[in-house]
Chain A
Amino acid sequence: MDVNQAKQEHLLALKVMRLTKPTLFTNMPVTCEDGDLPGDLFSRLMKEDPSTVKGAETLMLGEMLTLPQNFGNIFLGETFSSYISVHNDSSQVVKDILVKADLQTSSQRLNLSASNSAVAELKPECCIDDVIHHEVKEIGTHILVCAVSYTTQTGEKLYFRKFFKFQVLKPLDVKTKFYNAETDEVFLEAQIQNITSSPMFMEKVSLEPSLMYNVSELNTVTSGERGESTFGKMSYLQPMDTRQYLYCLKPKPEFAEKAGVIKGVTVIGKLDIVWKTNLGERGRLQTSQLQRMAPGYGDVRLSLESIPDTVNLEEPFDITCKITNCSERTMDLVLEMCNTSSIHWCGVSGRQLGKLSPSSSLFLPLKLLCSVQGLQSISGLRLTDTFLKRTYEYDDIAQVCVVVTVVKLSIL
């Protein structure tokens, strides 16, 4: 604000200052020892300096608050605060002063003034003060429009406006990725990057699930009683640093039943992020609704209800499959089981499973054995819908670890 440019024909002066948080004054310790040439001069000067920490003068970060030195940056989700001062520079009393502060964004205009009533009179050297606050909800150009109208002693009505333009920047970059578990669980990984130029303390990063899901946060490691953050002791993000948050979403029981038929885009929820910067300057953002494309299961979904993780070589074991009709029509299914080099199915191949109406499922216990050690993939199930003469193949549906039996081991 250059004072010389202010128009002198107006009796009132309008001044605006953005109120970011004050900063702590830092001093620059230059010390010497008593034996050095300056003797105790340097330390005496430092002790007399009001900005040093008494008793620990070499500590750089002092306690003296200084007002913001420049406009700085403002980010989406932060609060824009400003001091608006209207001062009577003239020598006469001015009447009916109305100060109006509006914020013009690309889409709307907001009135930020604390009161919209006029001040009856303003004496010389007096001022009208207003501190405005606004939580910034849009990105891009904002213009603070301050309008002052008043009446002079001669009854002349005067009016002037001032514009203050600033840009609102984006503070965070958020990327998400979904992982579909074999069960109906969905894992959400969110990468949050600080794209401002100052460190950011992440006070809260939580996932607000949609109606269909329950969420559990997987960002703490429980050791003993207390959970410890996976991000270590310091919960702040340096500029350009990225952090990964992980969440597990489980469909609520009432929706889980229908999970087999969830198709297309589903709404998972949204991330709620609260951060703080210098001396508690706060910001809060939410992402848009996170949407996930439910995995396509085709017409018939085959999932595993139970399977052992480790089995003995050449010993039969049981698995239970769940077969769900995801199509819109009733199916008549026939099950075929094809052996692979390591997997041998026990029981009759080609048996009828009967009719399966849409969205319903049936549970199918099966027996098989493995003839090769190691991690083996279970493959070779075929379902044929006799109505449409369509065959669905299910390979690599799960893995089991095949080991030599314990008894044999102990003999060896």
Chain B
Amino acid sequence: TPPPAPAEVGSDQPPEALFQEENIDLDGEAFVTPDDESTSENMLDKLNDQMMESVMISDSPNNSEDDGVPDQDAPPKNIEGESTTGNKMQTESVQRPEDVPSPSSVGTQESPQDISKDTPKEETIPVCTIFSQGNQQKPQGQALVPDGFEPALVKSPSFSSSVETSNKVPPLVCQPSPSLSKFFTDNGHVNPASDFFDSFTTSSSCISVSNPNAESLPGAGAPERHLSSSGASSTPSATGQEPRTPTFFLGLSAPESPGQPTPAEATPPFAQLQAVFSGSDDPFATALNTSEVDRRYDAWLPSEDTRKVLISVATQQHSPVFVDRDSLTMPGLKFDNLQGDAVKDLMLRFLGEQAAMKRQVLTASSVEQSFVGLKQLISTKNWRAAVDLTGRLLTAHGQGYGKSGQPTSHSTDSLQLWFVRLALLTKLSLFQNAELEFEPFGNLDQPDLYYEYYPSAYPGRRGSMVPFSMRVLHADLPQYLGKPQESLDRLHSMKTVCRRILDNLEQGMAEDGSMITITQENRQASIQLWRSRLCRVMYSMANCLLMMKDYVLAVETYQSIIQYEPEQKAQLLSGIGRIFLQIGDIKTAEKYFQEVEKVCQAKGNGSTLSTCILMNRAFVYLSQNNYAEAHATFSDVLKLDPKNPVANNNAAVCLLYLGRLKESLGQLECLVQQDPTFYLHESVLFNLTTMYELESSRSTQKKQALLESVACREGDSFNTQCLKLVSS
């Protein structure tokens, strides 16, 4: 990122070098050239006065009180000379009257429509303007301005055939590390793959898989042994050593494939699974209860084509159904190790090896190779390690590196793993990686992503294996890659499904429209769930619209969420108010803030609500350039809620605008030291390092001190950019 200060062009340089670009020849551009005059006379007849005339923006008002008579003499001023009065600008407001109308045009011939017809011609009118230079700079200017989100870095190539994926497209991130490949081929390793695959459902109370046929499921690694595409000869993975059988029909309702050799290392996890379920006291009651919850959570409405396939699977249980290869989901890791701890790298660089040695973070290898370990990594904010661990677990499931485009089977767990992996990649802002690995999932509507596709593995279970949150993630992702329209499309189709499911429920049917009797209690629970899901989709839509700067629709969408989430009314109205402040429309913002105050009064006096009111007032002061009052109001919030990190940070920011750098710095530093859990946040640290840079030439040392406190608290997902130690 560029430095926050104007580009420093150097110090103590001879001024000539600096002023080379600034010698604007006022005379040359301010006067009408003879050439212009001749054309303008010819044009009189042709153009009438249909043309819009380009107008000089002379200058700001204070400078142009009496510029009725343009002063055409602009003697070149000595740039070192003391400034005289502000009439310099008048020279630039000279303009040629281009709208000399012909007599016949008086009256009736003009109509507003003519303007649009003639607009293209406007380009050809020579416009006498000194600011033509400004026009040329337009595109440049646009490029300079940050538009709020990262530009798309690499576009995911679209694959014509997913089989060739692994051959044609080299992984963007990294090759499989030798250690990992070895890890999975070496049976004698301390962590055999079998240990990875215990179900997260064992620790979850509400979802469990009742799966009596589980042992006939092909275990991890089985499909890869059995099925491998003819085109994948150079697949850079462990499959290279295995026998390859070209397959063309991939009906693969996997459990039906007879005589399939199950690798020894894959059996234990399913044995474990069995063990978990056999422990239940009343399996029948549990199954009944969980099926109710499962139906509610898994419900989804497949497309017509997918529905047909699922019906045919259900009706032909004993003969394999041939499904077109294109409509199968064949995911695989596109890269493996993220190998990252940017904090440690920075420590090595700035604090030396010894200090770096002290940095202790959990890695994928240092935790239990299971969902428990995965959760541990997530909660300690070691998301990179967590991504690595999901990679290992997915490899154990046969969807590892290079397995993309190879037939596989899915389970609740494998899809949850994919969800976690992709969600973490997104949280880490590794959007290209997420997109690349999302690609084989298509639009999340392939038949093998529904439980009905696996009648023996999940008998009687219906609905989507893809968790709803994964659909939201899938829809959200394109906007971060500069394709917000695609996000909106996906979100709109999700919204439609949510609406239809709610309609079904309200009309006395089950979620999917089938006529199942549901108790009133369960129906209400389901309606509640699907309302909240609809809301989640609408939040995503509003956020996406906001990113697109379509403020009209964004505000409308946020507003419509209020009816579903009335308890968030104050926050939503405040958020809308802040949107208006961002646009610059302070009056409308104040209207929304007043509404927030009404909501708060109606609710009685909670301190969070009055915090909300004060915060809004402070933002209004800020927008009125009244930093002193803004600071006072943020400080008022702190009287109610001394630990409020937002108010603390914002008060410090106001101090800087008041010219009180040292105080501002002191306040932020103090906060970071006293309460690092709250204040080691990207935004606070960014502000702090920016102020260090402004304060003295020794900012690097101070930033290093911050790095040290980050090192002993934050996980590997910490975004080190905010420390601004490395100029990018």
Stretch touching chain B among A31-39, A310-318, A348-356: A31-39
A42-73 at interface with B (beta carbon < 8 Å) = 42, 44-45, 48-51, 53-56, 58-73
Decide if A106 touches B657 in the complex (CB within 8 Å).
Answer: no
Contacts of A130 in B (CB 8 A): 659
Contacts of A73 in B (CB 8 A): 141, 144-145
Contacts of B416 in A (CB 8 A): 36-37
> Known contacts being A35-B206, A165-B7, A284-B61, is A295 close to B134, with CB within 8 Å?
no
Contacts of A77 in B (CB 8 A): 57, 59-60
> Known contacts being A38-B375, A58-B539, A286-B59, is A236 close to B584, with CB within 8 Å?
yes
Contacts of B534 in A (CB 8 A): none
Over the window 258-270 of chain A, the binary record of Cβ atoms lying under 8 Å from chain B Cβ atoms (1 yes, 0 no) is: 0000000101001
Contacts of B494 in A (CB 8 A): none
Chain B minimum-CB-distance residue to A26: B148
The CA-CA distance from A161 to B10 in the complex, in Å, is: 9
Decide if A1 touches B693 in the complex (CB within 8 Å).
Answer: yes
User: A276 contacts which of B18, B585, B650 (Cβ < 8 Å)?
Assistant: B585
Chain B minimum-CB-distance residue to A169: B141
Over the window 1-34 of chain A, the binary record of Cβ atoms lying under 8 Å from chain B Cβ atoms (1 yes, 0 no) is: 1110011000001011111011011101111111
Give the B interface residue count (CB, 8 A).
173
Q: Does A230 contact B (CB under 8 A)?
A: no
Decide if B586 touches A280 in the complex (CB within 8 Å).
Answer: yes
Decide if B97 touches A293 in the complex (CB within 8 Å).
Answer: yes
Over the window 52-74 of chain B, the binary record of Cβ atoms lying under 8 Å from chain A Cβ atoms (1 yes, 0 no) is: 11111111111110011010001
Q: Does B115 contact A (CB under 8 A)?
A: yes
Over the window 216-246 of chain A, the binary record of Cβ atoms lying under 8 Å from chain B Cβ atoms (1 yes, 0 no) is: 0000000000000000111110110000000
User: B60 contacts which of A38, A136, A164 (Cβ < 8 Å)?
Assistant: A136
B122-160 at interface with A (beta carbon < 8 Å) = 122, 130-131, 133-135, 137-138, 141-142, 144-148
Decide if A31 touches B59 in the complex (CB within 8 Å).
Answer: no
Chain A minimum-CB-distance residue to B54: A175
A133-189 at interface with B (beta carbon < 8 Å) = 135-141, 143-144, 160-167, 169-170, 172-182, 189
Decide if B419 touches A67 in the complex (CB within 8 Å).
Answer: no
Q: For B552, B584, B659, B693, which residue has the most chain A Cβ atoms within 10 angstroms?
A: B584
Decide if A29 touches B2 in the complex (CB within 8 Å).
Answer: no
> Known contacts being A37-B200, A138-B88, is A164 close to B58, with CB within 8 Å?
no
> Distance in Å from the Cβ of B397 to the closest Cβ of chain A?
14
Decide if B683 touches A51 in the complex (CB within 8 Å).
Answer: yes
> Known contacts being A50-B646, A77-B60, A174-B55, is A291 close to B297, with CB within 8 Å?
no
> Known contacts being A29-B543, A139-B134, is A288 close to B70, with CB within 8 Å?
yes
Decide if A138 touches B89 in the complex (CB within 8 Å).
Answer: yes
Contacts of A62 in B (CB 8 A): 646
Decide if B693 touches A3 in the complex (CB within 8 Å).
Answer: yes
Decide if B5 touches A236 in the complex (CB within 8 Å).
Answer: no
> Known contacts being A67-B687, A139-B134, is A278 close to B582, with CB within 8 Å?
yes
> Distance in Å from the Cβ of B286 to the closest Cβ of chain A?
16
Contacts of A174 in B (CB 8 A): 54-55, 57
The CA-CA distance from A15 to B661 in the complex, in Å, is: 12
Contacts of B287 in A (CB 8 A): none
Q: Does A116 contact B (CB under 8 A)?
A: no
Q: Does B100 contact A (CB under 8 A)?
A: yes
The CA-CA distance from A279 to B135 in the complex, in Å, is: 26
Decide if B77 touches A107 in the complex (CB within 8 Å).
Answer: yes
Contacts of B615 in A (CB 8 A): 63
Chain B minimum-CB-distance residue to A5: B8
Decide if B58 touches A287 in the complex (CB within 8 Å).
Answer: yes
Decide if A32 touches B423 in the complex (CB within 8 Å).
Answer: yes
The CA-CA distance from A42 to B19 in the complex, in Å, is: 55
Number of A-B contacts defined by CB within 8 Å? 464
Q: Does B13 contact A (CB under 8 A)?
A: yes
Q: Does B420 contact A (CB under 8 A)?
A: yes
Decide if A182 touches B58 in the complex (CB within 8 Å).
Answer: no
Q: Does B678 contact A (CB under 8 A)?
A: yes
User: B59 contacts which of A49, A68, A76, A160 (Cβ < 8 Å)?
Assistant: A76
Interface of B is mostly: helix
Q: Does A381 contact B (CB under 8 A)?
A: no
Chain A minimum-CB-distance residue to B645: A50
Contacts of A39 in B (CB 8 A): 204, 375
Contacts of B180 in A (CB 8 A): none
Q: Does A336 contact B (CB under 8 A)?
A: no
Contacts of B645 in A (CB 8 A): 50, 64
Q: For A1, A24, A49, which residue has the most chain B Cβ atoms within 10 angstroms?
A: A1
Decide if A108 touches B5 in the complex (CB within 8 Å).
Answer: no
Q: Does A366 contact B (CB under 8 A)?
A: no
Decide if A170 touches B57 in the complex (CB within 8 Å).
Answer: yes
Contacts of B56 in A (CB 8 A): 287-288
User: A71 contacts which of B7, B60, B683 (Cβ < 8 Å)?
Assistant: B7
Q: Does A308 contact B (CB under 8 A)?
A: no
Q: Does A200 contact B (CB under 8 A)?
A: yes
The CA-CA distance from A108 to B85 in the complex, in Å, is: 9
> Known contacts being A33-B469, A279-B582, A396-B108, is A109 close to B81, with CB within 8 Å?
yes
Q: Does B272 contact A (CB under 8 A)?
A: no
The CA-CA distance from A60 to B487 in the complex, in Å, is: 15
Chain A minimum-CB-distance residue to B426: A30
Contacts of B7 in A (CB 8 A): 71, 164-166
> Distance in Å from the Cβ of A1 to the closest Cβ of chain B?
5
Decide if A286 touches B58 in the complex (CB within 8 Å).
Answer: yes
Decide if B467 touches A32 in the complex (CB within 8 Å).
Answer: yes
Contacts of B4 in A (CB 8 A): 17-18, 67-71
Decide if B543 touches A56 in the complex (CB within 8 Å).
Answer: no
Q: Does A89 contact B (CB under 8 A)?
A: yes
> Distance in Å from the Cβ of A183 to the closest Cβ of chain B?
10
Contacts of B423 in A (CB 8 A): 30, 32, 38, 42
Q: For A65, A170, A275, which residue has the most chain B Cβ atoms within 10 angstroms?
A: A65
Decide if A161 touches B5 in the complex (CB within 8 Å).
Answer: no
Q: Does B581 contact A (CB under 8 A)?
A: yes
B520-544 at interface with A (beta carbon < 8 Å) = 536, 539-540, 542-543
Q: For A44, A138, A172, which residue has the most chain B Cβ atoms within 10 angstroms?
A: A138
Contacts of A201 in B (CB 8 A): 583-585
Q: Does B350 contact A (CB under 8 A)?
A: no
User: B5 contacts which of A18, A293, A296 (Cβ < 8 Å)?
Assistant: A18
Decide if B426 touches A85 in the complex (CB within 8 Å).
Answer: no
Decide if B145 touches A72 in the complex (CB within 8 Å).
Answer: yes
Q: For B49, B379, B687, B694, which residue has the most chain A Cβ atoms within 10 angstroms?
A: B694
User: B115 contacts which of A22, A26, A143, A189 (Cβ < 8 Å)?
Assistant: A189
The CA-CA distance from A57 to B294 in the complex, in Å, is: 26
Stretch touching chain B among A93-101, A190-198, A327-335: A190-198
Contacts of A287 in B (CB 8 A): 55-58
Chain A minimum-CB-distance residue to B7: A165
Contacts of A357 in B (CB 8 A): none
Chain B minimum-CB-distance residue to A233: B552
Sample of 14 more A-B contacts, CB < 8 Å, known A39-B375, A61-B578, A141-B19: A28-B426, A33-B297, A51-B683, A56-B575, A59-B571, A60-B547, A66-B687, A70-B146, A82-B6, A110-B83, A137-B86, A164-B8, A201-B583, A236-B585
A-B contact pairs, 26 of them (CB 8 A): A1-B5, A3-B697, A17-B693, A30-B423, A30-B473, A36-B419, A41-B378, A63-B615, A63-B646, A65-B649, A65-B650, A65-B653, A66-B687, A77-B59, A129-B660, A129-B662, A137-B62, A141-B21, A161-B11, A163-B13, A177-B52, A190-B55, A199-B551, A265-B97, A279-B623, A296-B103
